[in-house]
Amino acid sequence: MEIRLGLATGEGTNEQSISVTMRTPGDDFDLATGFLYTEGVIRDHADIARIEYAGQPSPDKGLYNVVKVTLADRVRFDAANLVRHFFTSSSCGICGKASLNAVRIQLPEGERDAFEIAAGDLHRLPEALRASQTEFDRTGGLHASGCFDAKGRIRRLREDVGRHNALDKLIGSYLGDPRPLAGLGILLSGRASFELIQKAAMTRAAFVAAVGPPSSLAVELAEELGITLVGFLKADTFNVYVAPQRIV
């Protein structure tokens, strides 16, 4: 799917392609807005003047594969930091970025949301996430990102062939709220990478749990930001890498 930005200029609206990603069709607008939010281009849904499909549907499947997001006139951003030189890989959220400076996005300042969860409720999360993955049941091959409350209940999830896309879809689905995912933890069906911790940090989330392992950079970033990071989460065990005080 290609994401295009519509930018206001003195001569009207200028259109610029900023990303192409391999994605699972569905929740395309959430994917586009979540991507723009986690890249720091927009701060909330009010920064978007219009979102729509562009171009013609694909002749083979009839799918629209271009999403155009027109920004509100007041929105300004550094296009050089966002331009990607290659296709955006579904498995790596930073692949194709134009510079090393663009890898580390500007994270919002302020305290993390207050959040605590009992270890027993944490153990039940992987099964609850898996039980809610309707597309995984159909295909056997999709990742999921979900959010959960302090009682260990899955509140919402999104699925995609790419881990980063799944989280962008989840975050994008909450952009109509004043504080996306406020007071909720984030659950990842795979491993926790640096880029996924960055995306979670954009929502001020205080707790990230992953069914798989974290990368060393993910641990370092979580430690820097004070985010509780859990990996290898299973029904009978898990590892806590950062800030264990939020598990009670």
Under DSSP, is residue 188 helix (H, G, I), strand (E, B) or coil? strand
Residue 229, token pair as written in the block: 């990071």
Residue with tokens 């979580």: 222
CB 229 within 8 A of CB 203: no
Query: Among this protein's residues, is 92 annotated catalytic?
Result: yes
Kindly list the strands in the beta sheet with 12-20, ordered across the sheet, starting from the edge strand earlier in the chain.
12-20, 2-9, 66-71, 48-53
Indicate which residue of 51, 54, 79, 92 is catalytic. 92
Pairing of strands 48-53, 66-71: antiparallel
Residues 6 or more apart whose CB falls under 8 angstroms from that of 139 comprise: none
Q: End-to-end alpha-carbon separation of the chain, Å?
A: 42
In angstroms, the CA 50 to CA 179 distance is 21
CA 5 → CA 8, 13, 194, distances in Å? 10, 10, 26
Kindly tell me the burial class for residue 233, based on how many C-beta atoms sit within 10 Å of its own C-beta (0-12, 13-18, 19 or more). buried
Under DSSP, is residue 242 helix (H, G, I), strand (E, B) or coil? strand
In angstroms, the CA 54 to CA 50 distance is 12
The residues carrying an active-site annotation are 92
